[in-house]
Chains A and B, each alone.
Chain A
Amino acid sequence: MTLSVEISHRLGGFTLDVEFDAPPGVTVLFGRSGSGKTTVVNTLAGLLRPDRGRAEVDGLVLFDTGTGRWLPPHRRRVGYIFQEGRLFPHLTVRQNLSYGQWFARRSGTDTGFDGVVDMLGIGHLLTRRPGALSGGEKQRVAIGRALLSAPRLLLADEPLAALDEARKAEILPYFERLRDEVSVPILYVTHSAAEVARLATTVVVLQEGRTLRQGPAGEVLGDPRIVPAGVRAAGALLVATVARHHDDGLTELDAGGVPIFLPRIAQAPGRPVRVRVAAHDVILSRARPEGLSALNCLPGRVAAVRPGEGPGTLVSLDTPAGTLLARVTRRSAEALELAPGTACHAVIKSVAIAPEDISGP
């Protein structure tokens, strides 16, 4: 189940020229507004015909301008979860959900209705119409509708962008379940670093219509070069295992042999978790710090230093727990003589790690 994409398209003064491969799991297309993310997704869905390009999912060629092949949208079996839901207002939730399923059945594939409804927790909404649903409920129904069309590929175009923070927190876990329980590859468009950290298996960074960087989430997020692509809240991803829950409300993680303490999380001991650590929450120290209130201290080595446009500098650090990003001032970076290879310690306050930055496995 892999997707390979190659698209060139001109739209007014904007040129899109991207090329990437998406292995199984969630591939996040990441970049600022106007970087061409939605154009890529619309092309894959068959809603936009690119000037040149080729896309193939799981051995099936969706389009190839070289051979003139163009599979019409309804024959692609691509499940598209739109930012604004796009539920059919004249149909009930049940009819919306069955819509794609009916066409999938005609072509001989079926996805269990009840299973999807249970997974999304929308059983009590089935007789309502979309007009009577909240934003979060609409999006859950939209996810279900796309899943039930038995897609070869799921596309999600900023599916949380129209929701408030509370609703985002409500929907994100469903995408995590999709990633972990459904074998369909997912192409997920976002400009939110937090969503990338929680969901991405692979990240493709787009900047001004070009592929800036692609690779496994941990590697790409720890790369200071992607910051210009809009990672205003730059941050790296640590992969750890829950070690134990302490009585004082903290949870201890084991990150490559280093203990990390953070406010109590729900995951049981032994479970893997991914933790996004924002770059501006990381303090660097050449000596191992003593007498600090911060509980977490990771030894590491500087991998790269990237001065920003302002007084800030972004430092990436190889630690036993993975690559960390730290945003420090240029003055500090010079005072500490930070250069690739320098040994130093990263200090992270436990309470700086927000619950929305933690996800299981």
Chain B
Amino acid sequence: MGWLGPEEWQAVALSLKVSFWATLVGLPLGVFTAYALARWQFPGKQVVNGLVHLPLILPPVVTGYLLLLAFGTTGPLGGTLEQIGIVFAFRWTGAALAAGVMAFPLMVRAIRLSIEAVDPRLEEAAATLGASRAWVFATVTLPLILPGILAGAILAFAKAMGEFGATITFVSNIPGQTQTLPSAVYAFLQVPGGEAPAMRLVIVSIVIAMGALLLSEAIARRAAARVAGA
């Protein structure tokens, strides 16, 4: 991309990396959480549900600050993780954590809806045909909720690309380290003559967001057509 300056390109690349890992690591956890919320009855279910949705309704700055308290080098989790070599504070990994946490509720909601749409009677049928619970999940539930998982992943990726408040609070705005695309736009707008690079990043943002949206629609349409037969 010749028309992007090195600093802008760095921000785009970092955002893609951060969003990719935030989505990938969040996905298994998201499927598990969505399944538990959709299918299981357990004490404290409403509390878990609330915690999952909290980042959606809290001001992002608050989420970022809470992450800083927990995962900062002096925080209870951050300190422990640092001993085994995992550091979040002021690293790209921290940006990925912040993006992942912020995107998690959207991902869980999309997947949970698709799980709730699966007819449990199909899973019963699979069991009578000899499939254990794990096989039922792998061969019936998972394929049926795949469109929901993909939609949730794309939504989470797009959200992660746009995450700003929690990221900048948690890991600051260090070019090349933690300066994601939105942070870069913000930084460019703070200096004279930054409008042009900011505008270029805005265009990249719009292209990625629209692309994700169209992709998710296309996947949903294909899945619907497949199940409808022919």
- Enumerate chain A interface residues (CB-CB to B < 8 A): 45-47, 72-80, 82, 84, 86, 88-90, 99-100, 102-104, 106-107, 128-133, 145-146, 149
B-side interface residues, number (CB < 8 Å): 24
The residues of B that contact A106 with a CB separation of less than 8 Å are 130
CB-based contact A73/B124 at 8 Å: yes
* Interface bits B212-230 vs A (CB < 8 Å: 1, else 0): 0000000000000011111
Assembled-state Cα–Cα distance A75/B130 (Å): 6
Q: Is the CB of B229 within 8 A of A46?
A: no
Closest A residue to B125 by beta carbon equals A86
Contacts of A129 in B (CB 8 A): 226-227, 229-230
Q: With A82-B121, A90-B143 in contact, do A46 and B230 touch (Cβ < 8 Å)?
A: no
A79 and B128 form a contact (CB under 8 A): yes
Contact of B229 (CB < 8 Å), options: A45, A86, A104, A133: A133
* Interchain residue pairs with CB less than 8 A apart (27): A45-B124, A47-B127, A72-B127, A73-B124, A74-B127, A74-B128, A74-B131, A74-B136, A75-B130, A77-B130, A86-B119, A88-B125, A88-B140, A89-B144, A89-B227, A89-B229, A90-B143, A90-B226, A90-B227, A99-B131, A100-B129, A102-B130, A103-B129, A128-B229, A129-B230, A131-B228, A149-B129
Question: Is B132 on the interface with A (CB-CB < 8 A)?
Answer: yes
CB closest residue in chain A, given B136: A74
If A89-B227, A129-B226 touch, whether A80 touches B125 (CB-CB below 8 Å) is yes
Question: Any chain A CB within 8 A of the CB of B139?
Answer: yes
Q: A82-B121, A90-B143, A99-B139 are in contact. Are A131 and B227 (CB under 8 A)?
A: yes
Name the residue in B128, B135, B143 with the highest tally of chain A Cβ atoms < 10 Å from its Cβ: B128
Give the residues in chain A near B226, CB-CB below 8 Å: 90, 129
> Which residue of chain A lies nearest to B228 when distances are taken between CB atoms in the complex?
A131
Contact of A78 among B128, B133, B228 (CB under 8 A): B128
Contacting residue for B130 out of A82, A107, A131, CB 8 A = A107
Q: Across the interface, which residues of A come within 8 angstroms of B135, CB to CB? A: 74, 103
Chain A residue numbers with a CB within 8 Å of B136 are 74
Name the one of B128, B132, B143 contacting A47, with C-beta atoms under 8 angstroms.
Answer: B128
Interface pair A128/B121, CB less than 8 Å apart? no
CA of A244 to CA of B230, assembled, Å: 47
User: How many Å lie between the Cα of A86 and that of B121 in the bound state?
Assistant: 7
Find out whether the CB atom of A99 lies under 8 angstroms from the CB atom of B229.
no
Nearest-neighbour CB distance to chain B for A110, whole angstroms, equals 12
The smallest C-beta distance from A3 to any residue of chain B, in angstroms, reads 16
CA–CA, A339 and B228, complex, Å: 61
Excluding A88-B126, A100-B129, 10 further A-B contacts by CB distance (< 8 Å) are A47-B124, A73-B127, A74-B132, A74-B135, A82-B121, A86-B122, A88-B140, A90-B143, A107-B130, A149-B128
Bound-state CA distance A300–B22 (Å) is 84
A100 touches B229 (CB 8 A): no
Residues of B within 8 A of A89 (CB): 122, 144, 227, 229
The answer to whether B122 touches A128 (Cβ under 8 A) is no
Cα separation A100 to B135 with both chains bound (whole Å): 12
* Inter-chain contacts of B126 with A (CB < 8 A): 88, 99
C-alpha gap A106/B122 in the complex (Å): 21
A45 & B128 in contact (Cβ 8 Å cutoff): yes
Instruction: Give Cα distance in the complex from A77 to B131, angstroms.
Output: 10
B140 to chain A, nearest CB (A): 6
In whole angstroms, how far apart are the Cα atoms of A76 and B130 in the complex? 8
Q: CB distance B128 to A80 under 8 Å?
A: yes
CA distance A74 to B139 in the complex (A): 14
Question: Which of A46, A84, A102, A146 meets B127, CB within 8 Å?
Answer: A46
Alpha-carbon distance between A76 and B229 when the two chains are bound, in angstroms? 31
Q: B114-158 toward A: CB 8 Å interface, digit per residue (1/0)?
A: 000001011011111111110110011001100000000000000
A92, chain B: closest CB distance, angstroms = 10
Cα A45 to Cα B135 in complex, Å, equals 18
**Cα(A133)–Cα(B229), bound, Å:** 8
> Within the assembled complex, what's the spacing in Å between the Cα atoms of A77 and B129?
7
**A130 near B229: Cβ-Cβ < 8 Å:** yes
Q: Which residues of B contact A45 (CB under 8 A)?
A: 124, 128
State whether B129 touches A132 (Cβ < 8 A).
no
Cα-based distance from A145 to B129 in the complex (angstroms): 8
How far, in angstroms, from A107 to B130 measured CA to CA in the complex?
Answer: 9
Most buried by A among B127, B135, B139: B127
Please give me the residue from chain A that is nearest to B128 by CB atom.
Answer: A80
| A132 touching B128 in the complex, CB below 8 Å, given contacts A86-B121, A86-B122, A90-B144 | no
* Cα separation A333 to B135 with both chains bound (whole Å): 63
Write the nearest CB–CB distance from A228 to chain B, whole angstroms: 32
Least Cβ distance of B173 to chain A in Å?
45
Q: Which residues of B contact A47 (CB under 8 A)?
A: 124, 127-128
Interfacial chain B residues near A146, Cβ < 8 Å: 128-129
